[in-house]
Amino acid sequence: MFCIPYTILTLFLGALAFLSSNTEDPTYRSMFTAIGIVFFIFFFGFRGFIMSDWIVYHDLFYNCTFNDIKNFQLSSSGYIEPGFTLLMLICKSIFNDYHFFVFISTIINTLLLLNFLRKHSTNILLGLMLFIVFDGLTIMVNLMRNAIAILLFLNAITYLQHRKPIQYFSLCFIAITFHISALIYIPIYFLFQLTIPRWLFCLIIIVFNLIFLLHIPLFAHILSYTGLDAEKIDKVVAYTQKMTTTSKLSIGFIERTLTSILIICYFNRLHKIRKRAEIFINSYLMYAMFLLVFSDFPVIGHRMANLFAFSYWIIWGDLIRCFSIENNKRLFAIFIYCYCALRIAGSTQLPDFEYDNILFGAKSYEERLYIHNKTFEETY
């Protein structure tokens, strides 16, 4: 029953979002939002060793010294981006404890996330719930370097909307110092300015799904142009396929199909209720592309899709507003809450997800490492 804490967090934020959206009193809205934020920080900021990437970040933190500031290279794992290195060094200089570093990182991530949701979401609590369910859990816990990079970019979207390239590229540059994958956000400034028509959106989605359903090894074809021989390409693809348990026709695929259909149906309405809606529609296309088109290379596909998961945090909230009949709004909101609960419960079943909180006594590094290694051996 490892999924229970995550399901409770999701349902709790969903309940607060419902209460907040059904009250006209700004005091109550602020109170519900504050409760949700505190619970969110408590859950993630005081977490123990959950999921898997803590193994890497724990060692990085304790191996980091001020001598590394000259070349931003840690002896145990090679190159680490300078921004993240500097953050670790600052935390170590204040209090040399990994859990303190996790707490500070959580505060930074939460502030960046809240600033983004405040500007682009009509319901911050709904945004927090969707964040957790749609890749936010992985981003916050497992991808500590990516997390800050992604959230810095999200705060640059305002400058993209107002076409302020200096501010936009400055934030993207800072994001790159935390994770090199943020380089992909540089051309986004130009791509997300494009408003594609509904028919083209529909055509692109159909092509993505055909590549996925027909099992066309697109990424393997791309690798073939890099000079790798066929045997090495087969080994790379086989390895990455082994690292995922997602089936072809999964619940996630059905949900993405439904989301695509809703976006197509309410395409014009989405543009009416949100100025520059093309930014989030285009980001959804990027998300779908990496998951569907690069399904033959699932590790890379999921990692790159994470960079654009923010589209769900906004678009699903906008889709609720698209329904003109109040009862249909309620039904879709209920569907969102139920689906989010089921999705988070289904994706947190492995022993690696056993939740620990350091304030109530968390398992030691050695205990969790044993659980992780045992889980990995049994799964793969």
- What does the alpha-carbon distance between residue 294 and residue 292 come to, in Å, rounded to a whole number? 6
Residues 6+ apart with CB under 8 A from 107: 41, 45
- In angstroms, what CA-CA distances link 241 with 218, 348, 373? 14, 20, 19
What was the pLDDT predicted at 31? 95
153 to each of 66, 216, 336, 339, how far by Cα in Å? 28, 32, 26, 28
What does the H/E/C string look like for 262-281?
A: HHHHCHHHHHHHCCCCHHHH
Distance, CA of 224 to CA of 220 (rounded, Å): 6
Q: Residues 281, 269: contact at Cβ < 8 Å?
A: no
pLDDT digits (tens, 9 = 90+) for 334-374: 999 999 999 999 999 888 999 999 999 888 889 999 888 88
Q: Who contacts 297 (Cβ-Cβ below 8 Å, separation ≥6)?
A: 219, 220, 236, 237, 240
Angstrom distance (rounded) from CA 279 to CA 285:
10
Contact 112, 154 (CB under 8 A): yes
Whether 103 contacts 6, CB under 8 Å: no
- 228 pLDDT band, cuts 50/70/90, is low
To which H or E segment does residue 107 belong?
Answer: helix 98-120
- Give the residue extent of every domain in the chain: 194-308
pLDDT score at 295: 74
pLDDT per residue over 34-54, tens digit each?
A: 999 999 999 999 999 999 889
Q: Report how far residue 376's alpha carbon sits from residue 367's, in angstroms, rounded to the nearest whole number.
A: 14
* Ramachandran area for residue 217 (φ above 0: left; ψ -120 to 50: alpha; else beta): beta
In this predicted model, what pLDDT tens digit does every residue of 313-338 receive, in sequence order?
A: 999 999 999 998 888 888 999 999 99
What is residue 221's predicted lDDT score, i.e. its pLDDT? 64
Helix (H, G, I), strand (E, B) or coil at 78: strand
pLDDT band at 377 (very low <50, low <70, confident <90, very high): low
Is 50 exceeded by the pLDDT of residue 243?
no
Residue 361 has, within 13 A of its CA and on its CB side, a CA count of 0
